[in-house]
Structure 1
């Protein structure tokens, strides 16, 4: 598969202008004082569909249209946010969409996907969804938009970082969550160009550590089943050859346990007054650990990848009150 270049991200940002507005940068003075560093948040939770995934899906269809290859129908496999993104993109481009997902898909993400007009097919497992979408993609007039294993999806996700470069003057490190690695890959491609000295760092759930295992082994490792992590957006079974090639270029990578994911979901929701998905908040645990290793004040950007949480997930996140313990190092 072709490598993704910075020019691909730049062209993607231009393509997205008619469809998306820039998302804002947030920060918490209280958090900055506690940590001793300036922590900035790119609020992709305020993006259309409530997640960064809209960037990759819309860029892919806009690219296909630009090249005279817009299909009659698209299919996708997703744990939720990509499903909404593909459904929205198909709706805007006037084509049909079918999404394959696991039975445990978030209720709010499933509802939004169907609201945009897509057919949602719930499968017994994520593995079955992956198999069925590959079969459906063989049908005439059908195009598969995978959640991360596509150059135009990665380029689209990278526009969040490129957009942030026009909002931030200086940056020492950028953190992003890792599911399939699309956002992290796109972030790395853009950051290397716009902030060459900036460290690019990833985080994933310790319960869903296929990327960490892959990086340690030097080859892609695959989980046997979907893990029951709070960070459902990072519960992919494996990264792809495309994204793995970029993950291998990262400056660091953290694994985060479930208590830390819940802890930071509660605190970022409270401090930023935003609805933050556990997958988004997860990276904050990596930020806190990284900050402990720094000898001077740094400016850090964290990608808040999404903000779609259903009632069942809210109950799990707030099963224990972590706001009684301030986030101090």
Structure 2
């Protein structure tokens, strides 16, 4: 070993060992596409950067937004399909950057369609049509109310998918480039677990068919149970949950699907115990994971005499017995 690479040790056995490493590298690719069916990419769209490799954590700067080309406007850049207003981001995985072009159909944002310098695209959700607002001569737009979403309350517009509401209907802002905004909706869920008259929950008791059907009904899930058993097995209960959420169990076992979706973890011995009866605590935890995903605001969570705060399912049971507001 060359002298300059030899480790140095003191006579007492201590020493200094230097470790050198290189961060993992990831690939960034670029492409243009139309936002919707019928939208095209201009033939003279600016040339895109070439595919590049970056180290983990390195900052990637998004290209400048291209100018409009005839009737086609540039909507914005998307990271793996999600539109963003960010100018740059820290790389943590392979990322596909896509520039979306579209032919706008304008809503009334206060401007002149042909002279608008910038556009704001309001995205209600994945099922509704985007709302395009054109800026006025001072590059200002005013936010609108999105279409109603059944059973939900509109909270405002966020600057990033999954972000908090930053603007509300009627707010006016000045644009400095094309931007995209995402609707934020919340929905209330009534308590679906009540407990027993002696103020207990009985977490270790098996879930009866009647109890499970009532829980699911309170969550808006209709059930048709044809079983001679008095209690739910884990497999039957999860099959109902899969059906209620539209999960496809024709090509995959409901137990495996539940593991994949993070609804269940399994036991320390590596089994799922599909044919065991499900307990009330297990059922409450699964329903909490399925129907209360996302941001949850809980009011008036109930305390049960047999559910101490140290119980492994105490949080899920508390939420199940409370009126909750969840983000959808």
Q: Which has the higher contact order (CA 8 A, sep 6+)?
A: 1
TM-score (structure 2 length as normaliser): 0.21
Structure richer in helix, relative to its length = 1
Structure richer in strand, relative to its length = 2
Larger Rg: 2
